[in-house]
Amino acid sequence: MKIPKIFKGQTELTQAQKEYLAVFAQEQIKRYLSCEQFVSDKTIKLYVNNAYKVAGLPFPKKIQWFDSPEKSVKHWASVWASVGDSVRASVWDSVRASVRDSVRASVGDSVWASVRAFYDSDNFSFYKFFHENFQNTDLVWLQLLSENTTGYYFYKEECWLVRKPITLQRDASGRLHSETGHAIEWRDGYGFYYLHGIRFNHDEELWRKIIARKLTFSECMKLANIEQRMIALKYLDAEKLLQEAHAECVSKVRGYELYQVEKIFPRTQYFLKYTCPSTGRIYVSGIDPTVGAQKDAIKALSWKFYLDEEPNFTAES
């Protein structure tokens, strides 16, 4: 696709530029979510040196690679621990008092913050677009680093780089998700469990119990993390969930059943049981108590799926 360049003084994007921008954005998403390192370590060293040069700093004496974020954090912690509290406090006070603002102004917020690749992917993609289609910018070196690493840390004599993950799995909606292992994992085995975008950190036992549908209703309700609790409920066998909760069906319309649960929660709760038309799987979802209290499966259905109008079903006996 021919790249439609932006010219000085232009105030609006042309239709061709808008079309190209849409393609460019999708390509950037793919690059940041890819586990591929697009260039060699030697080329990345060039990016690092150029970034230091732009900041007016001498090239780092050492570039150190880490196989995962955990390794870089542990290394940083060991360095930090080798310095006494009083020394750390003195340095911190000095930085806050005089150095911080001037250094930040010189090297820019992105360098100061030791940018994490995913965190600033949107900003750097924005700068890359103008670098390629309007005018060269020195920020391109940071952008190129962010595409080829998980993160990087700039120090006076050393630069630390974290390798990209070897696994990054998502569900159909683009959320981190895996029922077979870490949804995101680095080459040393460090990673995180996710189910439909909900993070379980390193709690493999809980993650496995949920995907195996072995968690009981009572165990689900004891989970302190509300998002984990809701995901766990979705994996529960619907009939088992309602049975364990001693739920009472208060409304039934065309296969949509509204259940009332007493004495388990601080207040009466309601759940809608329904079958997914595309998969045939049965689901049970919590309903807003104020909606459920009307004891009408159709109203619960409308609330659940954000329907503007209630379906015209006839209630079953």
Cα distances (Å, whole numbers) of residue 65 to 44, 75, 177, 254, 317: 11, 11, 27, 59, 67
Task: Determine the Cα–Cα distance for residues 255 and 28; give it in Å rounded to an integer.
Answer: 44
pLDDT class of 7 with cuts at 50, 70, 90: confident
- Residue 104 is predicted with a pLDDT of 39
* pLDDT(257) > 90: yes
Question: Dihedral sign, CA of 266, 272, 276, 282?
Answer: positive
State residue 191 phi and psi, 5-degree precision: -175, -175
232 against 314, higher pLDDT: 232
CA-closest candidate to residue 32, choices 122, 142, 135: 122
Q: How far apart are CA 219 and CA 129, in angstroms?
A: 49
Closest CA to 182 of 171, 197, 196, 167: 167
Q: Given this model, what pLDDT does residue 102 score?
A: 41
106-135: per-residue pLDDT in tens?
A: 323 432 333 345 667 777 888 888 888 888
Degrees to nearest 5, angle at CA 305 with 302 and 309? 40
Least confident segment among 50-59, 61-70, 82-91, 196-205? 82-91
Residue 317 has a pLDDT of 41
Say how far apart CA 183 and CA 178 lie, in whole Å: 5
How high is the pLDDT of residue 109?
A: 42
Sheet holding 191-192, edge to edge: 167-168, 184-185, 191-192
pLDDT at 91 over 70: no
pLDDT for the residue numbered 22:
85
Residue 103's pLDDT is 35
What's residue 112's pLDDT?
34
Burial class (CB in 10 A: 0-12, 13-18, 19+), 124: buried
The confidence score (pLDDT) of residue 23 equals 87
Q: Is the pLDDT of residue 312 over 80?
A: no
Mean of pLDDT values over 213-221: 85
Strand 282-287 to 194-195 pairing: unpaired
Q: Are 105 and 120 in contact (CB under 8 A)?
A: no
* Cα–Cα distance, 233 to 283 (Å, whole number): 9
User: What's the mean pLDDT when you consider all of the chain?
Assistant: 82
Confidence of residue 165 (pLDDT cuts 50, 70, 90): very high
CA 146/CA 144 separation, integer angstroms? 5
pLDDT at 1: 62
pLDDT higher than threshold 90 for residue 179: yes
pLDDT of residue 36: 95
* Average pLDDT estimate for 216-241: 84
Residue type, 46: L
CA distance 256 to 270: 13
In percent, how much of the chain has pLDDT > 90?
A: 34
pLDDT above 70 (res 99) = no
